[in-house]
Structure 1
Amino acid sequence: MDNACYKLMFFIGILDMLALFISALETGILGIIGAVYCDYPLLIYTSGALGMILWFAETSAEMLLAINRCMELLRPQLAHAIFSVNKLRCLFALLICYGFAVAMFTKPLLFSGIYFSWFFNPYVGYTDDFEEIYSNTLHTVHNSFIIFGLSTIYITFLQVVIVSLFNSSCALIYISMQFVRISKIYIIVGTYSWVFSHGCPPLVYLLLNQRIRNDCVNFGHAIFRFLRNDNNNSVSNGQNAMAWMIPNYAGNNARNRNNINVPDQ
């Protein structure tokens, strides 16, 4: 974890796991019951705001990771100076603050059971928002930047091209969903793209990065050795206790037999 790249990926992984609770688990539950904003306004509004926080922070962290990878190849000394431990902590804090600012001062995503997805328009399926009353301009600008930024930076890296593909496709679909009437299959693809954008990076890294695979194997071996040693220590302690108890038990029995008064015949 000394490498800034791994710190960034660890940070992204935490955001991805949190986002999956909304993009996958909650979306599935709300879709099954056919919920709309009017049914659970507080839950859907809060979840949409949290989803925005995690999306903006995670995709921004992906951009930082892309910049870090390129700088490590072109200017490694500059990369080490910019992505030092203290500066990374400040960058992580800024990304979280950026996500919170977006959620607080712009419109959040709202779930619609009609289309099984999240929209800015709470009346989607009933009233079209061609006048863009419920549009979120910052969301559109951010997603557009993610599409072109990630695609341009990551074009030389196969594993990150795959990761950026899910993020970029999700960003493009959700931009389209806010401005044009689209088919249900397109919406479903957008929902799955959101899930995959948070769920696929670990699989891609494991499949295509030998060092990460080795680290995971070593980590698994370390856990196995720890559990085995802990189990051996427990067995050894139990054996020592039994070894101490048996002689004492035998000695006590011998003393008890000597103290028994045998009656006269």
Structure 2
Amino acid sequence: MEYILWNREEFDIVYNCTGINVNDIPIEQRRYPIAAIICIILGCIYYFNWSSLLFFTFLTYFVGCCGLFFWACECSADLILGINRCLEMAFPKIARKLFHNNRVYIWITFCTLHGLYWLLFCHPVIFSGILFEVSYEPLIGYIPFRMDLFERDIFEISIHNTILAIGSPLIYTLFGLCLYFKIKEMTTRVTKDEIMVFIQVFIISMLNTAEGLAYTYKFKYPDSGFWLTIIAHFSW
């Protein structure tokens, strides 16, 4: 949001659509009916498949900011939840000191502040109906990717997603080991709910990891293919 609120000169450089004709790209290359039908089934809004920055500049910008905000909040919450699950399983006293009662609001505040950094001080990711993906380049498909404008953003999100890709599997591997040893030593103390929680958070973690890796690769190599985009899109 920094660019639309306080840095309008750079906002106009990046997002100005003057001279771009949406009809230069045939409609056949800008629609994905199968993917759109899947989005309808999942509750997504169909018009995102044909709308673009050229029609709703400020709305698309705002949606991109919100998407980046929720992505950052979710990733940090995912890692914190994994740490919490490990501590609850292996060191319950430490878990109570760090997470129980009102202390949980400290972690929620941390996740929110992390998301606000991405919301306020980074270029948003913009949905492209041409490629059916989100990208830092709002005019992708019409002009070449302007790497010089988004180099810092790509570097930061690559670091962010790499930490997620390494940290999330590592945490849940430790969680699995804790669960295994607890089952081995005290079978009667492991409840079905604990096992189901492990399965749930592990699946969510792996989907987050897959999405992060896929989009990091896409940001580095924009021409890496449509199906990688689909994997990233629906993992999210």
Fold shared per TM-score above 0.5: yes
Shift of 1:94: 2.1
**Equivalents in 2 of 1:92, 1:161: separation in Å?**
20
Match of 1:222 in 2: none
Query: Does 1:192 find its partner at 2:231?
Result: no
Residue pairs, 1:11-22, within 5 angstroms? none
Query: 1:173 pairs with 208, 214, 218, which one?
Result: 214
Residue pairs, 1:1-265, within 5 angstroms? 25-26=44-45, 28-31=46-49, 34-129=50-145, 131-135=147-151, 136=153, 137-155=155-173, 156=176, 157-180=198-221, 181-194=223-236
**Equivalents in 1 of 2:206, 2:115: separation in Å?**
22
Question: Deviations 1:162-220 (Å, cap 9, x if unpaired)?
Answer: 221111110111111111112122212221111xxxxxxxxxxxxxxxxxxxxxxxxxx
Taking only the aligned residue pairs, the percentage that are identical comes to: 26
Shift of 1:24: 5.8
Read off the aligned partner of 2:135 and give its amino acid letter.
F
Q: What RMSD in Å do the two structures reach over aligned CA positions? A: 2.2
- TM-score (ref. length: structure 1): 0.60
Read off the aligned partner of 2:201 and give its amino acid letter.
V
Query: What is the DSSP-based 3-state SS (H/G/I as helix, E as strand, rest coil) of the residue aligned with 1:134?
Result: helix
List alignment gaps of at least 5 residues for structure 1. Answer: 1-19, 195-265
Higher RCO, 1 or 2 (CA under 8 Å, sep at least 6)?
A: 2
**Equivalents in 2 of 1:81, 1:74: separation in Å?**
14
**Equivalents in 2 of 1:68, 1:53: separation in Å?**
22
When structure 1 is superposed on structure 2, of 43-52 and 136-145 the one drifting more is 136-145
4+ residue runs over 6 A deviation: none
Read off the aligned partner of 1:148 and give its amino acid letter.
I
**Equivalents in 2 of 1:69, 1:121: separation in Å?**
38
Q: 1:188 to 1:132 in 2, by over 3 A?
A: farther
List alignment gaps of at least 5 residues for structure 2. Answer: 1-38, 177-197
Is 1:132–1:179's contact at 8 Å kept on the other side of the alignment? no
**Equivalents in 2 of 1:94, 1:109: separation in Å?**
22
Is 1:30–1:113's contact at 8 Å kept on the other side of the alignment? yes
Question: Deviations 1:25-46 (Å, cap 9, x if unpaired)?
Answer: 24x4211xx2221221111110
Read off the aligned partner of 2:131 and give its amino acid letter.
Y
Is 1:130–1:179's contact at 8 Å kept on the other side of the alignment? no
Shift of 1:59: 1.3
Structure exhibiting the larger radius of gyration computed from Cα positions: 1
Q: 1:122 to 1:130 in 2, by over 3 A?
A: closer
**Equivalents in 2 of 1:113, 1:130: separation in Å?**
18
Query: What is the DSSP-based 3-state SS (H/G/I as helix, E as strand, rest coil) of the residue aligned with 2:134?
Result: strand
